[in-house]
Amino acid sequence: MDAVRTRVAIVGAGPAGLLLSHLLARAGLDSIILDSRSREEIESTIRAGILEQGTVELLDEVSGSRARTVGSRHDGIELRFDGTGHRIDFAGLVGRGVWLYPQHEALKDLIAARLADGQDIRFGVTAHEAVDAESVSPAVLATTAEGGELVVRADFVVGADGSRSVVRQAVCGSHGGYFREYPFAWFGILCEAPPSADELIYSNSPDGFALISQRTPEVQRMYFQCEPDADAQAPSDAQIWDTLQRRVPGATLHEGAIFQRDVLRFRSFVARALTRGRMAIVGDAAHTVPPTGAKGMNLAVADVVLLAEALEALLVGGDASLLESFDERASARIWKAQHFSWWMTSMLHTAPDASDFDRRRQLGELRSVVESQAGSAYLAEAYTGWPL
């Protein structure tokens, strides 16, 4: 058995864990990051694509992010319903925008900058338990790629280990959290085609929702609402294009070879507690949002900003007050993002049991948003992100 010691043990080399380790290093705090996946796997897994302006500013500051060169700025989105597109002008409404920059590209930047700084990231190391939360020396018990046991003792343990977090178990025990399931999922594709529009299209149609997103000038990401247990391999390419075209009435999508398909589950979740003693959970370990509001990664970043300040105060300054209020302060934003993600989801998707009343009410809701400056400004404010 190997034993190592660090100031902060971080489980998970996703956006939350990597960013936290950057911010801690700036405060003079060493950390070790453990992740069960290989670097290649982390850097190639397709996840979210939209970064809030504040997220991009922070990534620029810590990791020389390529978001502004490889990614692209979007100053609005289109809400499409009843066969007509309506632009929500983020720049005009709130003077802010978002960046389309795939998460795995942001991860490449963060990992490269972390390793260049000589920081300790251990890939292929699977954490199986976090222990001693109530002591001043909590630890993570892990298994290395070679099958050896590793104990990482630290002054603080952070779970940034995603929705199947093992640290969450140590923080929340059997208390679990607040949970909501949705009666649909997203069928996602990547295809080789030029963009179908300048900006993302969020389309409500009588058949259900579709989102026309992008990746690069040559590769596009698109989604359509499907059954929660849909099989990603079942439909033919022609059926997928037929569904997508029907779901975006009044527009014609550029079609191309589909080279990846997946089904994304829809869940809302918030853990009942974010800290216990000298342990905390952040990002997907602490909460899950449905993807409609593009909040997942941005919310992880916001958690980490608050936690990094709290850990600096505790471990450098000996002041526990920011850690004591972390849960309450992080939760305020988490629940706003939960509401926004739920709202975008419910406003745009067709529930399987929707009545004619529900359907007409939904169109009334969409009109209330696009025809009202206040309604559009709320959407723009939430989508581009509240101040960090």
Contacts with ligand PHB by CB under 6 A lie at: 48-50, 200, 211, 213, 221, 291-292, 294
Specify the residue for token string 């993302």: 200
Please, what is the angle between helix 373-384 and helix 356-370, to 10°? 90
Find the shortest distance in angstroms from Cβ 136 to ligand PHB: 41
Find the shortest distance in angstroms from Cβ 101 to ligand PHB: 10
Find the shortest distance in angstroms from Cβ 295 to ligand PHB: 8
Would you give the DSSP letter of residue 183? S
Two tokens, residue 147: 């099958």
275: closest CA among 183, 187, 157, 383?
Answer: 157
Tell me the C-alpha distance between 346 and 281, whole Å: 28
Tell me the C-alpha distance between 387 and 298, whole Å: 11
Of 48 and 150, the one with the shorter C-beta distance to ligand PHB is 48
User: Is residue 196 helix, strand or coil?
Assistant: coil
Tell me the C-alpha distance between 63 and 134, whole Å: 33
The angle formed by the CA atoms of residues 230, 224 and 107, to the nearest 5 degrees, is: 95
Q: Is 309 exposed, middle or buried (0-12, 13-18, 19+ CB in 10 A)?
A: middle
Find the shortest distance in angstroms from Cβ 366 to ligand PHB: 16
Tell me the C-alpha distance between 31 and 312, whole Å: 12
Dihedral pair phi/psi, residue 120, rounded to 5°: -100, 105
Task: Tally Cβ neighbours within 10 Å of residue 254.
Answer: 12
Find the shortest distance in angstroms from Cβ 45 to ligand PHB: 12
Of 10 and 334, the one with the shorter C-beta distance to ligand PHB is 334
Beta carbons within 8 Å of 357's beta carbon, 6+ residues apart? none
Find the shortest distance in angstroms from Cβ 93 to ligand PHB: 18
Find the shortest distance in angstroms from Cβ 97 to ligand PHB: 14
Tell me the C-alpha distance between 280 and 371, whole Å: 43
Tell me the C-alpha distance between 58 and 306, whole Å: 13
Please, what is the angle between helix 373-384 and helix 326-348, to 10°? 130
Two tokens, residue 58: 């922070």
Of 17 and 296, the one with the shorter C-beta distance to ligand PHB is 296
Of 105 and 155, the one with the shorter C-beta distance to ligand PHB is 105
Of 211 and 366, the one with the shorter C-beta distance to ligand PHB is 211
Two tokens, residue 170: 């140590």
Annotated catalytic residues are 74, 202, 291, 295, 383
Of 58 and 297, the one with the shorter C-beta distance to ligand PHB is 297
Q: Is 217 exposed, middle or buried (0-12, 13-18, 19+ CB in 10 A)?
A: exposed
Of 135 and 260, the one with the shorter C-beta distance to ligand PHB is 260
